[in-house]
Structure 1
Amino acid sequence: MLEPVKDVIDAMLREDLRAPRKQKHTIDRILERLAGERDFEQTSYSTVRDYVRKRRPEVELEERQRRRRLEGTVPQEKRPGEEAEVDFADVFVDLAGQHRKCVLFTLRMSYSGKAVHRVYATGSQEAFLEGHEEAFAVLGGVPTVHIRYDNLRPAVRQVMFGRSRIESSRWAAFRSWYSFSPFYCVPGEEGAHEKGGVEQEGGRFRRRLLVPAPVVSSLAELNERLAAVDLAEDARHVHGRPTSVGFDFEQERPVLRPLPADGYDTGMDLTPVVQRNGRITVRQCYYSVPARFIGMKVRVKLKANEVWVFDGREVVARHPRLTRRYTYHDILDHYLEILLVKPGAFAGAAAPAQARAEGGFTKAHEAFWAAAKKKAGDREGTRMLIEVLLLHRQLPADALVAGMAAVLKIGSVSTDLVAIEAHRFIENTPGEDTDAEGVVPVGRAEPEPAPDGPGGEGRRSSRCTPGACRPICGPGCRT
């Protein structure tokens, strides 16, 4: 009974393969269309139902088999130095004690398989441009024909018909600077096959070299490791090739387009105003600057992994770039002048807490602070600690830590003695009455001055005798 309309029913079922889930043909709708469009009413509901129940999975299977035959891959022949592929991939990193989601930038040469990998805090336009600049510097040139991309937001503002795209202005300026052409893949899963080399490379690199998640203190440290790994991978053989990646790349290197004489500034310039709390707002995140700039506009260079703050041409603050909105990064040194006036705010301030978490505020600082508060009270003791923290601007941190340890060992909290011991640590010239480590023995902090009146003969005052302070300062002292 259904023989005259089987092809018509099959066509309806094929339409359902591309239709939304809730807008597919029901048995009633099929009967209505057969009656209205074909004037066919010689069958029952159950007959059509049984046919559709059997035929629908067969139509789906036929469609999958047809598409599988059409979606086969075609081997490609690449020429040296002509093409490359770029992609971003998610990667997790244990960064400064936090498990962070970052992005892995990969640029892969299509002929040799030579790849450059870098990790950035976000997939921002700054990271996109900086990744290219790093890759071109490593390769020593630029591909001569084009670089393949999917429709990444840092590059493409709008997808038009075919392969036409409206590009972002900074991306258009960047690729004009380096004189290369982009090749934009078809949107969706089909486009991924047009740059399958870098898709596979990103996954292979992440599985083999970033598992388990790398533990680093900064992304700069991680990228130094990746640069060494990229260099070592020149000895790797791509499957099916008798020669190594490095050997094949040597054929590409001479034919790459030369780099321009000057580099490209990949950072973004901003001019935020420093708020009363000593912070600026950049991309809905907060960064501290020195207190003297409160109320002023400062120039900020937003880079892929860092935020630089300038006073003229001088960098006055550098922060790691934050990725979560409304988070902050404070540097304790920026608030010291304010805290010197308001020492009571030190204990609950955000900057010291962050310095503790990052290791800048050490156990030696804590011990000195506790001893100073015990000897001079909370307010004056905190001021003494802040004076020591101000010494960090002129002296290395390890020298000041050694200076505080030496001063605490003799039971003193003098900031002047901390500076003296720090200088001794730097010069590495122990005094004549010091122990093997160059620390003044307990009870010999400084020479005892001669008492006035009779009985003071032979005990000259350290305030008027040249060189009498050597047990503290060392033999190089000229005070």
Structure 2
Amino acid sequence: MPGRFITDRQHEDYMTLRRHHTQKIAAAKSGFSASTGARIDHDPRPPSQKRRDRRHGGGKPDPLAGLWDEEIVPLLEEKPGLRPIAVLEEMEHRHPERGLASARRTLERRMRAWRAEHGPDREVIFRQTHPPGRQGMSDFFDARDLGVTVAGAPLTHRIYHFTLVHSGWEHAEVVLGGESYTALASGLQNALWQLGGVPHEHRTDSLSAAFANLDQDAREDLRLRYETLCADYDMEATRNNRGIAHENGAIESRHGHLKARLEQALLLRGSRDFEELDAWRRFVAQIVARHNARHRDRLAAERPHLRPLPARRSCDYDEARVRVTSSGGFVCRKVFYTVHSRLIGYELKVRIFDDRLELFLGSTLIDTLPRGRAPSGGRGGHAYVVSYHHVIHSLRAKPQAFANLTYRDALFPRTEYRHCWEALVAAVPQRRACRIMVGLFWLAHDQTCEAELAAALIEIVADGDLPDLEELRARFTRTPGDGGPDVPVRIPAAGSYDDLIPGQGAAA
């Protein structure tokens, strides 16, 4: 066939057939054209001998003559990792008069062939069989390139991803922070309890991201906590070698598939913006559920091989102790949180989850706060998770403190309040602006009308006016008669409940 070299065996067959047949018949029976037979009749040497003697490029001079054996091969033997472009640039530097720019493809072919015969050993990937119930894998991937926004703000997040290797069953959930132990422990346990069983082995990557910026004692503590978590679920904890991603390949490849499914689903949705974070979480869960529905039969076959769940969940949070300062809050991992002022001076126990903080006074849960993230790329700065509900009582007594409050910009519950403050500062003296703004905060807190007041403020500012605090108080303050219509409630006789008990009452 055109473009294919004949073999020595074909040449031998042709020479034998040629004794008793014409050139055309002998060539056809040997599997090549009559013109090739004519070339063999003209030069009866075997093809292998012709290729050895043939000059480069079908008669063109070899551009690497005098360089390949003398300089390039010794260079490759000394430094096997050199790339063709680097070798070519080195030869051009040594021999500028040779004009080697057009020899790149020739060099690439020669180097590829040389490495096949004389190059170093290469790593072999050993494909594995995965028995049912044997292995589950966990990993994280960056989801920022999906372009998801929440209420118009870009969402910086990762997705925790778990899969059963045999059946392909998956679990995925949104993670707001990095690859921390709490995110891994929470995501893994959510996956196992949703699955209803436990694989014999749980495999992760090297957990280097979770160990980042930790001292040796903290790393050892984290390693022990992870091994204890797996022991609680009767799983063998294994990790792949650091930097060897293909050892976790059963889930690495599925990252791409999951991300592609999410991308396509977002395209079909027509918008990447979600009203709230929980809406995006539900969207991810729906896409994963559709995938799992296609693997229902394989999961049913694997489920009998899974181990049972333990009696209760294991610890999936970090703990810290903080003291509430006179500023009405505490600092935890470079984030300042406000709490109710009555807790000033108390020491609280904090359970740190990936998305929230649970505050305990002794053994009593007293509050749950959304978790903040420390600012990246800077030193000494703090992020703020604050609520005007916590400080409004004191701020009402000292309204001028609002102007230069360190966390003032984080105190606005909605953008409408921020725009109102900017309009006030631009139009009236600062002292009056502070009194009006604090008065608006108090009105929103006291009458629980934050959203309604925000809608009124945006209309006032849009019209170029300033809020009249007295008018807004009269508009939003509820009177005792504003509690809604009276609903008559008839309380049944106590004896009538006996009718609900089988075998008693009227039926008896």
TM range (shorter): 0.5 to 0.7
The answer to whether residue 254 in structure 2 is matched with residue 201 in structure 1 is: yes
Task: Map 1:65-464 onto structure 2 (within 5 A).
Answer: 65=116, 75-92=127-144, 93-122=148-177, 123-144=179-200, 146-153=201-208, 168-188=223-243, 191-210=244-263, 211=266, 214-235=272-293, 244-312=294-362, 313-325=364-376, 326-346=382-402, 349=405, 353-354=409-410, 356=412, 358=414, 385-391=440-446, 411=471, 413-414=473-474, 418-420=477-479, 424=482, 427-428=484-485
Question: 1:43: which partner in 2?
Answer: none
Fraction of identical pairs, as percent: 20
Please say if residues 204 and 238 of structure 2, whose CA atoms lie closer than 8 Å, have aligned partners that are also in contact. Answer: yes
- Determine the C-alpha separation between the residues in 2 that align with 1:193 and 1:286: 41
CA 383–83 in structure 1, closer or farther in 2 if over 3 Å, else same:
closer
TM-score (norm: length of structure 1): 0.64
CA 428–15 in structure 1, closer or farther in 2 if over 3 Å, else same:
farther
The answer to whether residue 120 in structure 2 is matched with residue 62 in structure 1 is: no
CA 99–53 in structure 1, closer or farther in 2 if over 3 Å, else same:
closer
Q: Deviations over 1:140-195 (max 9, x none)?
A: 11112x2232212266799xxxxxx997222122112112113322333xx32233
- Determine the C-alpha separation between the residues in 2 that align with 1:115 and 1:183: 19
Which consecutive unaligned segments of at least 5 residues does structure 1 have? 29-45, 159-164, 236-243, 431-479
Choose 11-20 or 121-130, whichever is displaced more. Answer: 11-20
Question: 1:433: which partner in 2?
Answer: none
Choose 205-214 or 323-332, whichever is displaced more. Answer: 205-214
TM-score (norm: length of structure 2): 0.60
- Determine the C-alpha separation between the residues in 1 that align with 2:383 and 2:83: 42
- Determine the C-alpha separation between the residues in 1 that align with 2:398 and 2:155: 36
Choose 328-337 or 280-289, whichever is displaced more. Answer: 280-289
Please say if residues 332 and 355 of structure 1, whose CA atoms lie closer than 8 Å, have aligned partners that are also in contact. Answer: yes
TM-fit CA distance, 1:103: 1.1
Q: Deviations over 1:437-477 (max 9, x none)?
A: xxxxxxxxxxxxxxxxxxxxxxxxxxxxxxxxxxxxxxxxx
CA 214–300 in structure 1, closer or farther in 2 if over 3 Å, else same:
farther
Question: 1:450: which partner in 2?
Answer: none
- Determine the C-alpha separation between the residues in 1 that align with 2:317 and 2:416: 28
TM-fit CA distance, 1:429: 5.3
CA 260–397 in structure 1, closer or farther in 2 if over 3 Å, else same:
farther
Please say if residues 120 and 304 of structure 1, whose CA atoms lie closer than 8 Å, have aligned partners that are also in contact. Answer: yes
Larger radius of gyration, structure 1 or 2? Answer: 2
SS in 2 for 1:300: strand
- Choose between structure 1 and 2: higher helix proportion: 2
CA 156–383 in structure 1, closer or farther in 2 if over 3 Å, else same:
closer
Task: For 1:275, give the aligned amino acid.
Answer: T
Which consecutive unaligned segments of at least 5 residues does structure 2 have? 1-64, 92-96, 214-219, 377-381, 460-467, 488-508
Task: For 2:153, give the aligned amino acid.
Answer: Q
CA 358–53 in structure 1, closer or farther in 2 if over 3 Å, else same:
closer
TM-fit CA distance, 1:16: 0.8
Please say if residues 198 and 233 of structure 2, whose CA atoms lie closer than 8 Å, have aligned partners that are also in contact. Answer: yes
Q: Deviations over 1:330-357 (max 9, x none)?
A: 1111111211210223456466643546
Q: Deviations over 1:215-260 (max 9, x none)?
A: 335544422332232222223xxxxxxxx31221112223211111
- Determine the C-alpha separation between the residues in 2 that align with 1:349 and 1:338: 13
Count the aligned residue pairs: 379
CA 63–222 in structure 1, closer or farther in 2 if over 3 Å, else same:
farther
